[in-house]
Structure 1
Amino acid sequence: MTEPTTTGTRASRWLRGPLRPFQHGQYGLLTGSLTASMLGEGLWLMAMVWQVIELGGGAGALSLVSTCTALGMVATVLLGGVIADRVPQRRVLLTTELLLAVSATAIAALALLGAVQVWQLAVVALVRGLCSGFYYPAYSAMLPSIVPAEHLLAANGIEGTLRPIVLQAGGPALAGILVASYSPGAALAVGAASQVAATVFLLLMKPVPIRRDRTDEEPRHPVRSMLIDLREGFAYMIRTPWLLATLVFASLMILVVMGPMEVLIPFAVKDGAGGGPEDHALVMAAFGVSGALASLAMASRRLPRRYLTAMNVMWGLACLPFVLIGVAHDVWLIALGAFVIGALFSAPMVIWGTLLQRRVPPELLGRVSSLDFFVSLVFMPVSMALAGPLSEAIGLTTTFVIAGLLPLPIAVAAVLLARMPADELAHPLDRAKA
């Protein structure tokens, strides 16, 4: 009689804690792959910046490479959502990771041989963006298939914790050390190894069925069928006010802040504060660590009763520290601003992922997730392309001040116009269904 009691106690601890999704074996493998993939992405982000700088490129060249990533995501994310609702999601993830591993290995070899050029970095950035457009809808659609509904908040919290720790802190920090000690090529090589590891984890997973019922009424022509699927996703978005308003706000926020965040912060560190790769890594680590702590805190509790209002307002408030980054002349002040931004960006992301997985019908989740990425990221290439030239025209400080002040009033307008306070009370998610 002792063994069942011990096992039950062990299980109850899993069920109470933020790590409870790990009692499902498939989730552990998926998270292992995601962690390795995010580490590779974090290494790429830092190594790519300093590889461009080493080649003599400035903000304009960095904008070009970053814009290619955004263009790739926008080009494929809608198709990625349709595919995620039709093709086994593990197969989609495996294909994208293989492409990422091959492209990462190729650019690392060129960098180590001293033959890399900016246009080659731009090509690899485009490939990474194209793969991301397929990866994230498939991941979002597969997660509810391997984790029960009552564990989704914790699962999204774990992802929200890993993303800042690994992608925004660990990967860039490791890359900063490798760049400072060796070269950007060394960091790119370690990133390529991480993408290979992500592929291995996916190979170890068992097949995951698609949560979709097939009917005889579906058209046989694949193109027509996929267009109908896409139209259904758009129709759901338009007739769902909280979803449409949040996505419109997110797209405008990204237009304002993504360019300064991805393109200009390295130059704020280098030119504004006189820092180098290690200081840039410190700023990214501050962003990542705070995001991880905020995500873990959100995963350890119930969804807030005012989940829609809290989510959007927190995103708006998260942008205010860009003003501090714009006027700072010390690395520690830039790191402080990044710390606050990371926390207030990451905590609402846990709410958002859980919200989609609990309120969107399962057969539409892949398409709605892809629309989330598409509508949210449609202005990302514009933001990244404009960040460099705009900062050169009006100044780095002015660009950061604009990025810090505009999003909050847009967030408040989205909450009020979509009547989110009434909607969140009519559809409570802070307690389990009876």
Structure 2
Amino acid sequence: MRIPNAAKPFLVAQYRILVAALTLSMFGTGVWLIAVVFQVIDLGGGPVELSWVVLGSSLGLVAAVLFGGVVADRVPRRTILVAVESTRTAGAAVAATLSLTGNLELWHLVVIATILGCADGFFYPAYSALLPSVLPDEFLLAANGVEGMLRPVIMQAAGPAVASAIIAVFSPGVAFAVVAASQALAVGGLVIMRHIPVEREPRDGHPVRSMLSDLGAGFVYMVRTPWLFGTLLYASVLVFLIMGPIEVLLPFAIRDVVGADDAAASYALALASFGIGGAVGSLIVASLRLPRRYLTIMVLLWGAGGAPLAIIGFAQQLWLIIAAMFIVGFSYSAASVVWGTLLQRRVPSAMLGRVSSLDFFVSLVFMPISMALAGPVGVAIGNAPVFLIAGLAPVALAVLTIVIFRMPKDELAHPLDQVPEPVERTE
């Protein structure tokens, strides 16, 4: 029986355990995002108080992610994931206990969110670096596609839906308890995975200097690797150009089309379309082989795929905005699946944790800047010109990136499109 490409990673027993733990972790995160909001409201807080909790999480993430990459190249990645999920379990359990006993205060949530943000900074580099140790190269594209599909379905849809139902019937404290249980199950799954050692690099001297040296080596590798540096540079500009308009100006563009009374529901529909597009794009890429022109196609997907943003500021019908968001979500996720696979296949294993953390750091740094500027710029020149720039500028920059960093020549010199041999079930 012919097995679809997207399902082939599930032939590997260790991957089945890993993806089950990842699903539980994403579910818990989705529940946590909603539970925190309603817990702040129950404490009498509003947007300002919620912003303190979100800020704590963001600062913890930014502070930890680069060093998370260094640690991922020094410590067994499974061990890191167990530590991260254990920290999430403990944080959610403390929040649940304090909430259910009536002792929770806002500063407790800020501290817990900051600690969980730091834990998240260690998760992504460790997971990204662990995956190539679990799966053969030909399965990595499909595995990254599965992750890209699970994120909107589990973390952005299922988790929040369950959280809303629990809070409606019980309380945010019960939702926190569900988070703790979900993360504890994820710990259990990771614990039973087999131990996979890291490819340790020789290092001597003071531990702090050694870690800083490792971090510097990651930056040097990035700058001296043209395809990697060019893609990260383009991705940082892309995040800066599109995330602010989507996160800040999109609700107002929709309000101008449908009116204030229907704006909230229509905005939720647009975000759902973006998430569904991302899930579909990830699934389709997971079902295919990596194309021969993988760098060119990836960058063009990011660039041209965002072009529909240009019509949002001029659209007079809601369906146009929803369709545009679907296409943007589809192309962005499809390209991101290819990108994650390239890191895992072309970056040396001993360097992969650091490079993955640099990739994550780019998004973290430029996203808040984009959101901070989008509002004032939209007021100054109008929403329509901002969306026009967000849609069209990445297309031109994508072409320049491909040409300047000679990506067509590079991808032909390093082909990754070999057809895999038939694979038997692996235990």
TM-score normalised by length of structure 2: 0.83
Say yes or no: does 1:254 pair with 2:235: no
Give 1:423 shift: 1.4
Say yes or no: does 1:98 pair with 2:98: no
Distance 1:119 1:404, change over 3 A: farther
Pick the aligned partner of 1:25 from 8, 13, 24.
13
What's 1:205 paired with? 193
Give percent identity, aligned residues only: 53
CA distance in 2: counterparts of 1:48 and 1:419, whole angstroms: 46
Task: Give CA deviations for 1:253-290 in whole Å, capped at 9, x if unaligned.
Answer: 22233344456656777896545887665444333322
What's 1:127 paired with? 115
Q: SS state of the match for residue 401, structure 2?
A: helix
Distance 1:433 1:39, change over 3 A: closer
CA distance in 2: counterparts of 1:415 and 1:352, whole angstroms: 14
What's 2:227 paired with? 242
Task: Give CA deviations for 1:225-266 in whole Å, capped at 9, x if unaligned.
Answer: 222222221111111111111111111222233344456656
Question: 2:5–2:288: 8 Å Cα contact kept in structure 1?
Answer: no
Give 1:86 shift: 0.7
CA distance in 1: counterparts of 2:307 and 2:52, whole angstroms: 26
What's 2:355 paired with? 368
RMSD value over aligned CA atoms?
A: 3.6
Distance 1:392 1:193, change over 3 A: farther
TM alignment of 1:295-306, pairs within 5 A: 295-306=282-293
TM alignment of 1:179-328, pairs within 5 A: 187-210=175-198, 212-215=199-202, 218-262=203-247, 274-275=261-262, 282-323=269-310
Task: Give CA deviations for 1:283-337 in whole Å, capped at 9, x if unaligned.
Answer: 4433332222211111111112221121112112343444555567877655434
TM-score normalised by length of structure 1: 0.82
Distance 1:313 1:47, change over 3 A: farther
Question: 1:273–1:330: 8 Å Cα contact kept in structure 2?
Answer: no
CA distance in 2: counterparts of 1:108 and 1:265, whole angstroms: 34
Pick the aligned partner of 1:171 from 133, 144, 159.
159
User: How many residues are matched?
Assistant: 418
Give 1:184 shift: 5.8
What's 1:143 paired with? 131
Distance 1:88 1:425, change over 3 A: same
Pick the aligned partner of 2:370 from 383, 400, 410.
383
What's 2:75 paired with? 87
CA distance in 1: counterparts of 2:253 and 2:20, whole angstroms: 34
Distance 1:275 1:47, change over 3 A: farther
Task: Give CA deviations for 1:64-94 in whole Å, capped at 9, x if unaligned.
Answer: 5544433322211111111111111111111
What's 2:425 paired with? none
CA distance in 1: counterparts of 2:283 and 2:407, whole angstroms: 25
Q: SS state of the match for residue 6, structure 2?
A: coil
Question: 2:73–2:200: 8 Å Cα contact kept in structure 1?
Answer: no
CA distance in 2: counterparts of 1:247 and 1:214, whole angstroms: 25
For structure 1, the 5+ residue unaligned runs are 1-8
What's 2:424 paired with? none
Distance 1:213 1:188, change over 3 A: closer
Task: Give CA deviations for 1:327-355 in whole Å, capped at 9, x if unaligned.
Answer: 67877655434322221111111111111
